[in-house]
Amino acid sequence: MWLKKVRQLDIDSNSGFAKRVLLLSLPSAFVFIMLVILNLLEPYWALLSYASVVVFTMVFMIPASSEMQQVKNYISKLATDTADTDFKLNLSEQEAKDIADAVNSMHKFWLYKTDALEAQTISDTAVLDTLPDPILMIDRSGNILGANLASRQLLDADITEKNVENVFNSNNFINAVNKVLKKESDAESLVFYAPGGLNKKMYAHIKQLPWFSKGRTVAVISLYDLSKAMTVEKMQSDFVANASHELRTPLSVISGFIETLQTSAKNDEQARETFLKIMADQAEYMSQLIENLLSLSRIELSQDKLPDEKTDVCKIVKEAAEALSVKAVARNMSINLDIADKIPTIIADSQQIKQLVQNLLDNAVKYGVSPSEITVSIKLSEQIPASKTFNVAKGKAVAISVNNKGPKISADDLKRLTERFYRMQTHKDLNIKGTGLGLSIAKQIIMRHRGNLTVSSTNYNGTTFTVYLPIKIKD
């Protein structure tokens, strides 16, 4: 047993075992020396007795030292994270057991803390990655410590550990970062161009982290891509420019004729008749244009609100065909209806569907050849064809097709028909009146209803616009 303990005891030079044995046996050494000096004990008995004290001390100390050695080795292993916490130490001394238990529970507590910290870091990274805008975290020297998914996609997958000076080639941007890092400023904002010839105008906000954040990150850079907002802004200013131009043209015609009527044609009865007719036409065009512009903005404003009226598409189509029949007859055209059985009512905005059908029928009457037939058909469709640019509803739909005869529309024109103010040159040359807004209004209405619009055009069949409207709007 004792030998086993000795074997177990891997006494290393630093354990102090020998020192402790000597120290414990020192008082008895003094006692024996005194006894020899006083002639109360023979020197060889004193030596023998001292040797037995040393042996006894060793025998009593070996188990405790052996266990402390085991605990020490175990703690060293825990420190390097290679120990198995469920590993059972072979301890018999109560104190050694208590120390081992205390160390074990401390280790378990830190393991739990580490796991919690790791989980928090993973969830923080996931949250940052869901943000659509790039975010960078930098240290005191401007090294990038962290980058969310958006910034890795914009800049580089291996952006971390690079210095901002090597990533961004804008002096203004680097100066702003340095100002924040040197604590000359708490936050800086600026507009600059994204690196790597991306030609993207970016807005950057560089913000110092509060003093109580103890990590290596000292500042956060948030970037916002301004190109999308600029495109929308450009579209809006183009729209205003187009609308103003469209209004200015008839207005200048009217002003010109007013001036002529006030001067040279003052007493010319025949000229007055002709000019007044042109002025009335131009005024009519202007009011149509204003009406369409207001309509377009109203529909755009209603985009976020889903339609909720029970709508009878067949009734709307019949009424629109009736209303446009006079204009059609004037062009030697007729409107045929081909309505399938059991077309259900749909959930829609009845007023907007009426406007949509009228716009399509009006185009068919205006741009179809004379004489010819226009056919409006209503069918049930199992689904709505997908769109690349907007969301369409899932499920069954009602499909309204308006066909008119006429020459094939080129692919280039087909792509642009729903653009605001776009009109085909052939129709402008033929002096067919129009604002170029009817189809863009139709498209906005269809988008609000989560439907879709398809156009096909051939020389033989003419042009067919098909509108798909969901029976119930399900995204």
Ligand X SMILES: Nc1ncnc2c1ncn2[C@@H]1O[C@H](COP(=O)(O)OP(=O)(O)OP(=O)(O)O)[C@@H](O)[C@H]1O
Q: Closest distance between Mg ion and the C-beta of residue 444, in Å?
A: 14
The SS3 assignment for 339 reads: strand
Q: Please give the Cα distance from 309 to 277 (Å, whole number).
A: 42
Q: Which of 25, 70, 358, 363 binds Mg ion (CB under 5 A)?
A: 363
Record the tokens describing residue 109, joined without a space. 């507590």
**C-alpha torsion sign, points 187, 189, 193, 198:** positive
Which of 25, 444 has the CB closer to ligand X? 444
Q: Please give the Cα distance from 305 to 314 (Å, whole number).
A: 24
Question: Is there binding between residue 65 and ligand X (CB under 6 A)?
Answer: no
The distance in angstroms from the start CA to the end CA of the chain is: 80
Element (H, E) at 294: helix 269-301
Which of 104, 363 has the CB closer to Mg ion? 363
50 binds, among ligand X, Mg ion, none (CB under 5 to 8 A by kind): none
417 binds, among Mg ion, ligand X, none (CB under 5 to 8 A by kind): ligand X
53 binds, among Mg ion, ligand X, none (CB under 5 to 8 A by kind): none
Q: Nearest residue to Mg ion, using CB?
A: 438
Q: Please give the Cα distance from 444 to 423 (Å, whole number).
A: 18
Query: Which residue's structure tokens are 């709508």?
Result: 311
Question: Is there binding between residue 436 and ligand X (CB under 6 A)?
Answer: yes
Q: Which of 63, 134, 146, 406 binds ligand X (CB under 6 A)?
A: 406
Taking a C-beta distance cutoff of 8 angstroms, is the pair 433, 401 a contact? no
Question: Is there binding between residue 352 and Mg ion (CB under 5 A)?
Answer: no
Q: Closest distance between ligand X and the C-beta of residue 278, in Å?
A: 18
Which of 272, 427 has the CB closer to ligand X? 427
Residues for the chain: how many in total?
475
The SS3 assignment for 408 reads: coil
One character per residue 353-382, x = contact with ligand X (rule: CB under 6 A): ------x---xx--x---------------
Which of 134, 438 has the CB closer to Mg ion? 438
Largest CA distance in the chain: 164
Which of 218, 356 has the CB closer to Mg ion? 356
CA atoms within 13 A on the CB side of 225: 17
Site residues, ligand X (CB under 6 A):
292, 359, 363-364, 367, 404, 406, 409, 417, 422-424, 427, 434-440, 463
Binding residues for Mg ion, per CB under 5 A? Answer: 363, 438
